[in-house]
Amino acid sequence: MSPRRKTGREPARPREPSRRALLASLSAAPLISDASAARARIDPGIDTCHRWLDVDAEQRRLQLEWGTLEGWLIAHRNWYKLSPAQQSAVPEGARLAEIDARLDVLEVEGHALLKAMRPKPAKSVEAVIANLSVAARLIFVEDHPEAHGLITRAVRDLAAFSGGK
């Protein structure tokens, strides 16, 4: 998957999610309640999912900030007409570099967490809910609206069947 916006006839793959996608994908997050934190001791996979969801939320927030800041720099500082040395002298440019560095760290951590999740079977309904919540975030609603809807509905249904845990 290439993280870039649509240009010409190439398929769209946005670097940052749209606000609509962010809101839709976050719809499952409240279903993983603080009450399940106690159960995480029983199934450490829940902690792994919670951490991945936190990493994903931070990545999305930083990507939105990066896009906003980059747009401002383009409009007000002729960002891409500046040399790398000139860009580094712009104070707002330093924030872009900070965001990029943090996104690199989060990407590595997120991949490691996903790799840790794969081989471990869930030991509780709460762990299944947590795994499905991660899956809902991995599938872009714009790319696969039916699959995303099925997964988020399954999360809500499982949470309801398990007493909202």
Look at residue 3 in the predicted model and tell me its pLDDT.
Answer: 47
Question: DSSP string of 38-76?
Answer: HHHTT-HHHHHHHHHHHHHHHHHHHHHHHHHHHHHHHHH
| Structure-token pair, residue 83 | 């040399």
| Residue 151 pLDDT class (50, 70, 90 cuts) | very high
Confidence of residue 164 (pLDDT cuts 50, 70, 90): low
- What digits encode the pLDDT tens for the residues 82-111? 999 999 899 999 999 999 999 999 999 999
> What are the pLDDT digits (tens) for 11-30?
444 455 555 554 445 554 55
Instruction: Return all residues near 87 (Cβ < 8 A) that are at least 6 apart.
Output: 79, 93
The residue among 121 and 32 whose pLDDT is bigger is 121
pLDDT at 2: 42
What is the arithmetic mean of pLDDT over 26-36?
51
Q: Is the pLDDT of residue 32 over 90?
A: no
- The least confident of 38-42, 54-58, 115-119, 142-146 is 38-42
What's the pTM value of the predicted model, to 2 decimals? 0.72
Percent of the chain with pLDDT over 90: 59
Which has the higher per-residue pLDDT, 10 or 82?
82
Average pLDDT, the chain: 82
Q: What is the pLDDT of residue 58?
A: 98
